[in-house]
Amino acid sequence: MKNVRIGIVGLGTVGSGVVRILKEQQALIAQQTGLSFEIVKAIIANPDRERASYLKDVALGTDITQLLQDESIDIIVEVMGSVAAAKDLIEQALAAHKNVVTANKDLIAQYGQELAELAMANNVALRYEASVAGGIPILQILRTAYKADQVHTIAGILNGTTNFILTQMDEQGLTYDQALKAAKEKGFAESDPTNDVDGFDAAYKLAILTKMAFGLSVPQSAIDITGIRELAIDDVKAARAAGYELKLIGLSDLTDEGLRLAVAPMVVHENQPIAQIRNEHNAVLVKS
């Protein structure tokens, strides 16, 4: 069985979760893939921070070059959470002939094409499935199952925080502010929720989906973005009374006039599958 050696940069909530899942699912992954995965080292900002028990046997360091110069490492997982520093790291990793995995949607939306070309030039892989729609393997589906199809429309709930807020307004009768507070208490919303509630997070993800489905790199300025901040409980009630659900939808629609790109609150008929998606969950509809 081949052993795949992994270096990880960042050991916060996401990075720790990656390590935990690889350890917990080690036997199943080996059975399904014929590969064993070993976390060789994690590069962190604070080596003195208390760590969970499942991280005790992971070697820690603070110098990224330790990963870049280690020829035994096959994959570098980037979970730093920034854009500029992450881009610099990934460029160095690809140039050093390391395969890279990232969930950095902001980075991929802005520099995905450039980094993909660098990966190809160095005959390594750049993978970013987790950057869009959480656990839904939508990028892999677009990359493979729709390879011979002409995609016409992508529409989906791409941000779990806003979907949670809208669900709470609908089901619990909460105001926007009350629902946002509940989202923060559950850890779905950041202390500054701007990226989520103003639609920017969904726009980054829509740009990635658009690139994968239509082969077009679109800047955020090309997307018509409206968030949910101004929605009132009366808006949600009115939609419900008419047989609709209010959802923040990311839409990439190929029309005779060109590609329409939008992130905005939209009414979805209650019988449609997307209308049934509640709380922090995501969904993506593809028409071809």
The answer to the question of whether 226 is labelled as a binding residue is: no
Cβ-proximal residues to 90 (8 Å cutoff; 6+ apart), any chain: 76, 78, 100, 102, 107, 115, 126
pLDDT for the residue numbered 53? 65
288 residues of the chain, pLDDT tens digit each: 888 999 999 888 788 888 888 888 989 998 999 999 988 888 888 777 777 766 777 888 888 898 899 999 999 999 987 899 999 999 999 999 999 999 899 999 999 999 999 999 999 999 999 888 877 888 888 888 888 889 999 999 999 999 999 999 999 999 999 999 999 998 888 889 999 999 999 999 999 999 999 988 898 899 999 999 999 999 999 999 999 999 999 999 988 888 999 999 999 999 999 999 999 999 999 999
Determine the pLDDT at residue 61.
83
**Active site annotation includes 205:** yes
CA dist., res. 127 & res. 145, Å (int): 17
Residue 73 per-residue DSSP state: -
**Could you tell me how many residues make up the chain?**
288
Residue 280 assigned to a binding site: no
pLDDT confidence of residue 146: 85
Is 105 annotated as contributing to ligand binding? yes
14 carries a ligand binding annotation: yes
> Which of 41, 87, 205, 247 is labelled catalytic?
205
Q: Does 12 belong to an annotated binding site?
A: yes
Residue reference for tokens 């994968």: 212
Supply 226's token pair: 């409206």
C-alpha distances in angstroms, 81 versus 11, 126, 254, 280?
A: 11, 17, 32, 20
Q: How far is the C-alpha of 236 from the C-alpha of 167, rounded, in Å?
A: 9
- At residue 256, the pLDDT reads 87
* 61 annotated as a binding-site residue: no
- Catalogue all structural domains in the chain, each as residue range(s) with its CATH number: 2-131 (3.40.50.720), 153-287 (3.30.360.10)
Q: Is 190 annotated as a binding residue?
A: yes
